[in-house]
Structure 1
Amino acid sequence: MDPEESAGGGVRSVRRALDILSLLTEDQPAVPLRSIVENTGLPKTTVVRLVQTLEDYGLLWATAAGYMAGPGLWRWAHLAASSWELPPETVKLLRELLHRHGETVNVMTRRGMHRVCVAQQESPQPLRHVVRVGDQLPLWAGAASKILLSGASDTLLERIAVDSPHGHEHAEQLRVWRDQADEAGCAVSQGERDSGLTAVAVPIRTGSGTLVASLSISGPSSRISTESIPEITADLREVSARLTSQGFDHPLSPRN
């Protein structure tokens, strides 16, 4: 094996650099060098070299509080925004969906063994389900996951199962959920990943019928009752159909 190749695939030094950048969050906009060493488990000399390289490319910026996101990320952020931001008419439909039900609305796509949030309208209620745009979540549970597993190979389902808390045996459950969602054209989850959370999801398709994303509503099970699920599902289906009719021109497509 190439010394730069990591056991999980990819280039080790690149993965290490990305691990450092991933430490930056809204709650932690600056990370001291000591915290980087502690969180990555890398030798301090290695961390220093990686940080210096990221600084050279403007991806990190040294401050008294620690290292923060550098100005070099602005260009990439602009490119990502111009490619991934939904058009105003689509955002309007999602916002109206939020106003009708008062619960968080998410659009997610599948990438490998994960689902990625690409758009959201967050519930204004104090107790709500929050997933930030760009967040990557597992595919082993959840209404959106069941929708996004459509067309997934048995090999991928087995990989997802092994990576879940339930182990290899969970693959059969994933197959059942995949088939049920395909047949029903919708999916529901209740406390499968987060206790007390209910979610309802439907597929978003292109005009030719290709699945590109899931559209979901999620919130506390105490507010999303079993009786309300049919109404929510019907509304999600209507909005999804309108998105399709608008021409869902977006770089979304499942990638194995």
Structure 2
Amino acid sequence: MDKTVRILLAFGDGRLHGVRDIARSLTLPKSTVARLILDLADARLLVQDETSGQYRLGAGAARLGQAYLEGLDVRTVSAPIMADLQERSGETVGLQVREGLERVVIASNESKATIRSGFSIGERLPLHAGAAAKVLLAFEQEEFRGELVRSLTLTPLTDRTILDTDQLQAELAKIHRQGYAVSENEVSLQSTSVAAPVFGGDDRLSAALVVTGPVFRMTGEVVKVLTPLVCEAAQAISADLGSTHYRN
């Protein structure tokens, strides 16, 4: 590995470092390290602390990191984690995002079972019912969430659909506290879903990760097992997108 790259990576711990300790830790000549650190500082990848004279990552490194995060696509990042979740759960795994007052399926790994539940990529679905819908509402910015809910038309889809705004708000608050949503027969009959939020590099809600299956397989005990799996997968996708939400 190039000496310059090794030196830059040594600053990845976010701490201040001097020429001497970098040279010692990388077993490099101090003169070489001093020269290369000056080159990195000229490129604004490092900046010198005025008090200690040591160096830390600079604005140039921050810009590179931001460019990397902005270039991440949630579907690409989610793909291997969704595939693993589908294998572990045996049910259909989907990724949904909010568009206006609807939600859209942007990725799906279908169950291999003969009888299965799920939705097609590109399908548009209501935002007021279903586990994924409630996650997309519950983890929206608080000041915007109320406005969204008031804008919804609470159309009955099944006899399990919530049709009262206050009841829906209370349900969303509960989902926000517990970190996931579960629904049964809310959008269509004989279907159960578990969903958890995915956050982007800016720590804002990016998508809802959801596992959907027929109610005869998705029993209460099965849902208890699946819920932590869905939450862990959503956390893994969020971390890969650069989010620190789950570390806070």
- How far the C-alpha of 1:85 sits from its partner, in A, is 7.7
Aligned mates of 1:99, 1:136 — CA distance in 2: 25
Task: Give the aligned partner of residue 121 of structure 2.
Answer: 133
Tell whether the 8 Å contact from 2:129 to 2:162 is kept in structure 1 after alignment: no
What is the distance in 2 between the residues matched to 1:200 and 1:139? 15
Structure 2: give runs of 5+ residues left out of the alignment: 1-70, 244-248
- Where does structure 1 lack aligned partners over 5 or more consecutive residues? 1-81, 250-256
State the AA in 1 paired with 2:108: Q
Q: Deviations over 1:88-143 (max 9, x none)?
A: x5312111111111100011011111111111101111211131111110012100
Pairs within 5 Å for 1:153-232: 153-160=145-152, 162-165=153-156, 170-232=164-226
Give the aligned residue type for 2:226: I
Deviation at 1:220, TM superposition (A): 0.4
CA RMSD of aligned residues (A): 2.5
Q: Offset at 1:206?
A: 2.1
CA drift of 1:224 comes to 0.7
Question: Is the aligned partner of 1:109 residue 2:100?
Answer: no
Offset at residue 178 of structure 1 (A): 1.2
- Percent of counterpart pairs with the same letter? 29
- State the number of aligned residues: 166
In structure 1, the residue matched to 2:49 is none
Q: Deviations over 1:17-73 (max 9, x none)?
A: xxxxxxxxxxxxxxxxxxxxxxxxxxxxxxxxxxxxxxxxxxxxxxxxxxxxxxxxx
- The one-letter code sitting in structure 1 at the alignment partner of 2:156 is P
CA deviations 1:138-183 (Å, max 9, x no partner) are: 01210001100023433321221x3513899521222122111111
Secondary structure of the equivalent of 2:189?
coil
Q: 1:125 is paired with a residue of what secondary structure? A: coil
Q: Is the 8 A contact 1:158 1:168 kept in 2?
A: no
1:119 is aligned to: 107
CA gap of 1:163–1:102, structure 2 versus 1, over 3 A, is: same
One-letter amino acid of the structure 2 residue matched with residue 183 of structure 1: R
Shift of 1:248: 6.2
**CA distance, structure 2, for counterparts of residue 97 and residue 168 of structure 1:** 29
What letter is aligned with 2:150? E
Normalized per residue, which structure has more helix?
A: 2
Alignment of 1:38-57 (within 5 A): none
Residue type of the partner of 2:224? Answer: P
Q: Alpha-carbon deviation of 1:189?
A: 0.2
Amino acid at match of 1:148: L
